[in-house]
Structure 1
Amino acid sequence: MAGVIWGLILLFSAGKKVLIVYGHQSSGSFNAAAKSAAVEVLTTQGCTVEVSDLYAMNFKATCTAEDITGEVKDAEHFKYAEETKLAWEEQKLSADIKEEHRKLTEADLVIFQFPMYWFSFPSIMKGWIDRVLTLGFAYSSEKRYSQGVFKDKKAILSFTTGSHESMFSANGINGDMNVTLWPIQNGILYYCGFQVLAPQIFWAPSYVTAEARGAMLEAWRTRLQGLLEEKAVSFAPSDYFDGEKGFQLKPEVQEEHADKEFGLTVGTHLGKALPPNNQMKAGV
């Protein structure tokens, strides 16, 4: 039976393309080991894997007019989003952004591998988000959330923390990790249409034993074998909201959920208790 399951996984994964956006300075880090495990397992399954090693690439994190070749439309009142949208349409974006656009366009799955800094991405990876997810290319007012540009792609956050899991609980000093993840998973990934897979969180690897770190990596390797088949976490779809009334939940949706114990999502919670693990586990 195990052989049959592995054969099905290989069949499903063959020909798939994966982009790993990797943001750690050290080749000897736990993040590097997690990245290497992903490359090995996914390649073995028949996937084509590309890695954007941001530090090795010396990737520019700042959004400036240098991201556009030639003259900008309005240098005196420079607006990055509008100028880069125009540059994208006219094929005038800088070479590094164009290359990341290529990788992203081809990818079926994007893995963001990083150490959590200040409850978010490292600055170099945030710069990748700011520069590569260009207006027009990655999103627009018409193409976002469930109707987003990347609705046929999957994405996952795979990261290490500097605090133990208990500190990121609903009763912990750092607060609920589901709340921490909402701006990233909803406001960036799902906003661009990605099917967001439940995060792979390596809790405080610097403070556990070598054996525990090995177990973390082995769990990741096991999960990677079926990662492309996983269901996404839940978000409220775009058609739940009335665009003519400030993108508020439609009355019929509010009525449907009026008697339910929990809100729809961490962000769209209707003033109710947050749905447990809404940003941590696949939707049901």
Structure 2
Amino acid sequence: MKILWVFAHPERRSLGGSLLAEGLRTLESLGHEHRTSDLYGMGWKAVVDADDFGGASRERLFVGAEQERAYTERTLSEDIVREQEKIAWADTLVFQFPLWWFGPPAILKGWFDRVLVQGFGFGIKGPDGRTLRYGDGGLAGKRALVVTSVGARDSGFGPRGIHGQLEQVLFPLLHGTFWYTGMAALPPFVVYGADRLTAAGYAHGAAELRERLRTLHTTAPLPYRPEAGGAYDEDLVLRPEFAPGTSGVGVHR
């Protein structure tokens, strides 16, 4: 397999940095190729602006249109192009980050904003003129895995936990970014209680990560409904015969 590992943590000597090293060693031992984007180490620019789109009009910036124009005309900034080349090379993407305020750090959100541009990650039309998304799109055929750590105990993210179930907390990323662009979202890998992890706890988490990576190619993705599968009406609302009487993000599985 060809794996791109996107790492978003400011400290390589952290738990996250240790898990990154463990993960890359495991991929190598399994014979997989890998490339890494260490966003803090790269000094990644996290904000979209006109400088991303060489030749963008300064009168008024329409981000989506300028993204697509620059992608088509090959005038995107070099840092964006390098990341897109890594994505095109990979068949699986791993996104590792600490869970901050129930989401990834701003630097990773900025990577999504700047790299998955219109015309590359989304906004692509099929032969029938239909916009390809939610199971289709520019990244269809790839798989995506979240590797994250949280300070809270796992019970707080359980079915009745105060924080909410983690898969639903991460719904904007798993469904709204991965699945929207066509990537199959794998069940997230999580290390809980990161702030109080003992040596034994780390050894357990590292072993679980090695196992997840060993089965990376066979793990079943989250069974999200494709937009083009007939479950949604013309207004993109789930038809009443699917998950009848229920609502919320869970109905999209």
Please give the TM-score of this superposition, normalised by the length of structure 2: 0.91
Contact 1:240 1:249 in 2 (8 A): no
What does residue 128 of structure 2 align with?
none
**SS of 1:97 mapped into structure 2:** helix
What does residue 193 of structure 2 align with?
204
Q: Following TM superposition, by how much is the alpha carbon of 1:256 offset from its aligned partner in structure 2, in angstroms?
A: 5.3
The code of the aligned residue for 2:98 comes to P
Give the CA RMSD over aligned residues: 1.8
Whole-angstrom distance in 2 between the partners of 1:268 and 1:161: 22
Whole-angstrom distance in 2 between the partners of 1:242 and 1:32: 42
Q: Which runs of 5+ in 2 are unaligned?
A: 125-130
Whole-angstrom distance in 1 between the partners of 2:243 and 2:175: 20
Whole-angstrom distance in 2 between the partners of 1:52 and 1:65: 23
**SS of 2:42 mapped into structure 1:** coil
Q: Following TM superposition, by how much is the alpha carbon of 1:219 offset from its aligned partner in structure 2, in angstroms?
A: 1.1
> Is structure 2 residue 31 aligned with structure 1 residue 46?
yes
The code of the aligned residue for 2:241 comes to E
> Is structure 2 residue 90 aligned with structure 1 residue 107?
yes
What does residue 61 of structure 1 align with?
46
Q: Which stretch of structure 1 is more off in the superposition, 53-62 or 38-47?
A: 38-47
Q: Which runs of 5+ in 1 are unaligned?
A: 1-15, 271-277, 279-284
The code of the aligned residue for 1:185 comes to L
Whole-angstrom distance in 2 between the partners of 1:68 and 1:59: 16
Q: Following TM superposition, by how much is the alpha carbon of 1:77 offset from its aligned partner in structure 2, in angstroms?
A: 2.0
> Is structure 2 residue 235 aligned with structure 1 residue 267?
no
% identity of equivalent residues? 29
What does residue 78 of structure 1 align with?
61
Q: Post-superposition, which runs of at least 4 consecutive aligned residues in structure 1 deviate over 4 A?
A: none
Mark the CA change 1:241 to 1:140 in structure 2 (over 3 Å): closer, same or farther.
Answer: farther
Larger radius of gyration: 1
**SS of 1:258 mapped into structure 2:** coil
**SS of 1:223 mapped into structure 2:** helix
Q: Following TM superposition, by how much is the alpha carbon of 1:216 offset from its aligned partner in structure 2, in angstroms?
A: 0.6
Q: Following TM superposition, by how much is the alpha carbon of 1:242 offset from its aligned partner in structure 2, in angstroms?
A: 4.7
Q: Deviations over 1:124-160 (max 9, x none)?
A: 1111011011111011161211122222100000000
Mark the CA change 1:210 to 1:61 in structure 2 (over 3 Å): closer, same or farther.
Answer: same
Whole-angstrom distance in 2 between the partners of 1:241 and 1:78: 36
Whole-angstrom distance in 2 between the partners of 1:268 and 1:174: 16
Q: Following TM superposition, by how much is the alpha carbon of 1:249 offset from its aligned partner in structure 2, in angstroms?
A: 2.6
Whole-angstrom distance in 1 between the partners of 2:83 and 2:47: 15
Q: Following TM superposition, by how much is the alpha carbon of 1:46 offset from its aligned partner in structure 2, in angstroms?
A: 1.7
Contact 2:2 2:90 in 1 (8 A): yes
Match of 1:161 among 132, 136, 150: 150
Please give the TM-score of this superposition, normalised by the length of structure 1: 0.81
The code of the aligned residue for 1:35 comes to L
What does residue 23 of structure 1 align with?
8
Q: Deviations over 1:240-269 (max 9, x none)?
A: 3456x312234xxx325438xx76xx5263
> Is structure 2 residue 100 aligned with structure 1 residue 117?
yes
Contact 2:243 2:251 in 1 (8 A): no
Match of 1:140 among 117, 120, 123: 123
| Residues matched between the structures, number | 246
Mark the CA change 1:168 to 1:197 in structure 2 (over 3 Å): closer, same or farther.
Answer: same
